[in-house]
Amino acid sequence: MSGGTRSYEMARRFVTQGHEVHMITSWREHSKNNDWFVERIDGIHVHWLPVRYSNSMSFSKRIKPFFEFAFKSAWKAASIKADIIFATSTPLTIALPAIYASKRQRVPMVFEVRDLWPELPISMGALNNPIKRYFAKHMELFAYKNSSAIIALSPGMKDGIVRKNYPKSNIAVIPNSCDIEMFKVEDLLGKGFRRDRKWLGNSPLILYAGTFGLINGVDYLVDLAVELSRIDSDIKILAVGSGMEYDKVIKKAENLEVFNRNFYIEKELKKKDMAAALNASTIATSLFIDIPEMRINSANKFFDALASARPVMINYGGWMHDLVTKRECGLPMWQKSISEVAEILDTKMHDQTWLEKSGQAARKLAEECFDRDMLAAQLMAVLQSAVDGDIENAAMIAPGNYE
């Protein structure tokens, strides 16, 4: 399906190792009923609960489906006999049914933190009510307190959890991963992607594939398109995805007269189709608005770019900025003016030697540090340690050092 596939990719690897995996999750497509249904997908027992939710919803409107899912999935999780409960968040409410099932079955619970909540919505101004903030902060502490171990998706997230007085030794760092084989595709796929888009031709292509949310700041690419047009560059930009800012980005591009000229938008693609899009791209991007809380993120699109051997451009600081700088696998554009960014891109994207060298560095980083098979093995080792009651080894299993 479209969007992040971390849970699926990890789960199917556990199945191949002989484990029985039950995944409890939400079904967001249209459904005639609101009751649970079960599918067997690649050996995974997937328990679907229809929930009305989309990335286009405002933060306040997401609260209701979050709690609806938490309430209904609590008894479902408790009804499936397990040796361990693994909860992966956001949102924080995911911890509630996991803790309930853990207590009912008297088995350990491991909690995965994919964003630091509630710090992130508070920093965005989406959680202004002091009462809601109070309960959100206490829910965070409640989740940590009831976790045998915690998986953080970046070193910075681990630091944030340690600040809440959770034992450092019980926190493993397992970022989003690179599906290297999935994105190691024949160039024919990329050529077909370009052939299907007459506007693209042989032009250099900047690709963004992700959410159009407030925090992503995809309109950055519209401003970039304006600057590229101003310097008469032949570079094209394609943004693929969905979210609450989707229509707003289109409107801005239309108003600035770059929409369908050098800036194009398409609806989100399934991950298997993203391989062709990335192969067709010259540079891939990972974007966020510049707030400190986002510098610790672990964005899927960053790792997909590495897996595809494409140079990656990022416009924010933090550990990914440092990685791109040190490994020379792309363009760290943090704190650069949009006109400077456009000039750099117009030079680098026409430099075949730089493109090849940066792409090779990206693939090398993917293979050495973020290969999905390697990180799935680390996750399984942490889960096994929790089952064995030897969870103090979590930090040693996955320390999060990428020097």
Q: Are residues 377 and 307 in the same domain?
A: no
Tens place of pLDDT per residue across the chain (403 aa): 666 689 999 999 999 999 999 999 998 777 767 899 999 999 999 999 998 766 666 666 677 778 888 899 999 999 999 999 999 987 788 999 999 999 999 999 999 999 887 777 777 777 788 888 888 889 999 999 999 999 999 999 999 999 999 999 999 999 999 999 999 999 999 999 999 999 999 999 999 999 999 899 999 999 999 999 999 999 999 999 999 999 999 999 999 999 999 999 999 888 778 999 999 999 999 999 999 889 999 999 999 999 999 999 999 999 999 999 999 999 999 999 999 999 999 999 999 999 999 999 999 999 999 999 999 999 999 999 999 998 888 999 999 998 6
What pLDDT, on a 0 to 100 scale, did the predictor assign at position 122?
79
Intra-chain end-to-end CA distance of the chain, in Å? 33
Domain membership of residue 113 (yes or no) is yes
Q: Are residues 384 and 315 in the same domain?
A: no
Residue 245 contacts residue 216 (beta carbons within 8 Å) = yes
Task: Kindly report whether the peptide bond that precedes residue 292 is cis, defined as omega within 30 degrees of 0.
Answer: no
Which residues make beta-bridge pairs with 44? 41
Residue 391 contacts residue 148 (beta carbons within 8 Å) = yes
What pLDDT, on a 0 to 100 scale, did the predictor assign at position 265?
97
Q: What is the strand order of the sheet 330-332 is part of?
A: 263-266, 236-242, 205-211, 283-286, 312-314, 330-332
Domain membership of residue 402 (yes or no) is no
Domain membership of residue 1 (yes or no) is no
Q: Are residues 87 and 219 in the same domain?
A: no
Q: Are residues 204 and 173 in the same domain?
A: no
What pLDDT, on a 0 to 100 scale, did the predictor assign at position 391?
87
Q: Which residue has the tokens 């679907």?
A: 48
Q: Are residues 297 and 386 in the same domain?
A: no
Domain residue limits at 148: 6-177+371-397
- The torsion angles phi and psi of 209, rounded to 5 degrees, stand at -130, 105
Q: Are residues 229 and 259 in the same domain?
A: yes
Say how many domains are in the chain: 2
CA 348/CA 190 separation, integer angstroms = 20
Q: Are residues 110 and 187 in the same domain?
A: no
What pLDDT, on a 0 to 100 scale, did the predictor assign at position 270?
81
Domain membership of residue 403 (yes or no) is no
CA 203/CA 233 separation, integer angstroms = 10
Residues with Cβ within 8 Å of residue 310, at least 6 apart in sequence: 207, 278, 281, 282, 283, 284, 359, 362
Q: Are residues 230 and 350 in the same domain?
A: yes
Q: Are residues 173 and 267 in the same domain?
A: no
Q: Are residues 32 and 164 in the same domain?
A: yes
CA 172/CA 29 separation, integer angstroms = 33
- The torsion angles phi and psi of 212, rounded to 5 degrees, stand at -95, 65
Q: pTM for this structure?
A: 0.92
Q: Are residues 95 and 54 in the same domain?
A: yes
Structure tokens at 378: 């680390």
Domain membership of residue 362 (yes or no) is yes
Residue 90 contacts residue 53 (beta carbons within 8 Å) = no
What pLDDT, on a 0 to 100 scale, did the predictor assign at position 64?
78
User: What pLDDT, in 10s, does the model give residues 44-65?
Assistant: 999 999 987 666 666 666 777 7
Q: What is the DSSP string of 278-319?
A: HHH-SEEEE---S-GGGTT---HHHHHHHHTT--EEE-S-SH
Domain membership of residue 213 (yes or no) is yes
User: What pLDDT, in 10s, does the model give residues 68-78?
Assistant: 888 999 999 99
Cα Rg for the chain, rounded, in angstroms? 21
Question: Measured in whole angstroms, how far is the alpha carbon of residue 172 from the centre of its chain?
Answer: 18
Domain membership of residue 262 (yes or no) is yes
Domain membership of residue 126 (yes or no) is yes
Q: Identify the CATH number of the domain in which residue 55 sits.
A: 3.40.50.2000
Q: Are residues 353 and 217 in the same domain?
A: yes
Q: Which residue has the tokens 């024949």?
A: 186
